[in-house]
């Protein structure tokens, strides 16, 4: 009898069409959207495989931009912020248009220069519930917002909290010129002792921003997860927007 059909073969590497750039499993890539006016999709390559006809496909895990998340873009989201989703797909390798780097938040804030292909990720994102992991982050300043690495902040030498210049009635230029900075509470001597003792006894975990408004409806989300049919429908709805890639 004839030979068995060649099974899918896992490839070590793939050279991006029209370039000399090679990608491997674990690399992050930019993928061409069907609508060319949109920004490219960002994905992490899990597996590269070739079928019996030699067609190369990549199994990817999508990164979502804040705009694509259920909660949308918030003030504290950085311009280059991405969320690592639980949404996987099999895509033609032809749609890969380039390589990119998705840094950890810490690494990103230490980059000397941020290139067009540099991104960062500090949250995992559940594409069916809109929930984030971690679902709480530290907040700073009088406005009690999580840190947006695109915004300049200055640190108070008293309480060590960080502040946005506009929140303390300073321009960015004025803030940059300061050699020393004490916030309003710390600059008043009487207040200083109070503030310091208060700060020392305050567990930092209490000053956090809860990311998911839907957490109030946690019971509903929780029971949804037990209704497999409903969950599948939700997953389908959220993945449909990416089905147009080809
Ligand atoms: Zn602020
Ligand atoms: Zn202070």
Last residue of a domain, one of 67, 94, 125: 125
| 3 and 120 assigned to the same domain | yes
Q: Which ligand is nearest to the CA of 188?
A: 2
Spacing, Cα 193 to ligand 2 middle (Å): 11
Spacing, Cα 210 to ligand 1 middle (Å): 17
| 159 and 121 assigned to the same domain | no
| 141 and 121 assigned to the same domain | no
In a domain, 166, yes or no: yes
| 112 and 151 assigned to the same domain | no
pTM (2 d.p.) = 0.74
Q: Which ligand is nearest to the CA of 195?
A: 2
Spacing, Cα 177 to ligand 1 middle (Å): 18
Domain count, the chain: 2
| 36 and 98 assigned to the same domain | yes
Q: Which domain holds residue 62?
A: 1-125
In a domain, 225, yes or no: no
| 99 and 180 assigned to the same domain | no
| 27 and 91 assigned to the same domain | yes
Q: Which ligand is nearest to the CA of 170?
A: 1
Q: What angle do CA 40, 150, 147 make, to 5 degrees?
A: 110
Spacing, Cα 140 to ligand 1 middle (Å): 7
Per-residue pLDDT of the chain (246 residues; tens, 9 = 90+): 555 565 789 999 999 999 999 999 999 999 999 898 999 999 999 999 998 888 999 999 999 999 999 989 999 999 999 999 999 999 999 999 999 999 999 999 889 999 999 999 999 999 999 999 998 888 999 999 999 999 989 999 999 999 999 999 999 899 988 889 999 989 875 454 544 444 443 334 346 666 543 333 333 333 233 333 333 333 333 444 444 443
| 99 and 164 assigned to the same domain | no
| 49 and 86 assigned to the same domain | yes
Phi, then psi, of 181 in degrees rounded to 5:
-140, 130
Spacing, Cα 238 to ligand 1 middle (Å): 33
| 3 and 83 assigned to the same domain | yes
Q: Which ligand is nearest to the CA of 140?
A: 1
Q: How far apart are CA 201 and CA 208, in angstroms?
A: 16
In a domain, 154, yes or no: yes
């Amino acid at each position: 009898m004839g030979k068995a059909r060649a099974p899918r073969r896992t490839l070590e590497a793939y050279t991006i069409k029209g370039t000399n750039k090679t990608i491997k499993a674990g690399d992050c890539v930019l993928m061409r959207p069907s609508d060319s006016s949109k920004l490219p999709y960002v994905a992490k390559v899990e597996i590269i495989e070739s079928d019996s006809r030699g067609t190369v496909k990549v199994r990817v895990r999508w990164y979502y931009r804040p705009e694509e998340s259920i909660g949308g873009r918030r003030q504290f989201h950085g311009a280059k912020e991405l969320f690592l989703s639980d949404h996987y797909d099999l895509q033609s390798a032809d749609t890969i248009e380039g390589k990119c780097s998705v840094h950890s938040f810490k690494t990103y804030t230490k980059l000397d220069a941020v290139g067009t292909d540099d991104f960062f990720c500090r949250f995992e994102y559940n594409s069916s519930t809109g929930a984030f992991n971690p679902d709480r982050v530290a907040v700073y300043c009088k406005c009690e917002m999580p840190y947006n690495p695109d915004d300049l902040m200055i640190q108070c030498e008293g309480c060590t909290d960080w502040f946005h210049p506009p929140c303390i009635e300073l321009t960015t230029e004025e803030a940059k010129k300061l050699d020393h900075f004490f916030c309003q509470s710390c600059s008043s001597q009487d207040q200083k002792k109070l503030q310091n003792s208060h700060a020392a006894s305050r567990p930092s975990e209490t000053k956090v921003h809860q990311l998911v408004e839907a957490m109030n409806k946690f019971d509903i989300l929780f029971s949804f997860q037990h209704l497999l049919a409903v969950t599948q429908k939700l997953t389908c709805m959220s993945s449909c927007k990416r089905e147009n890639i080809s």
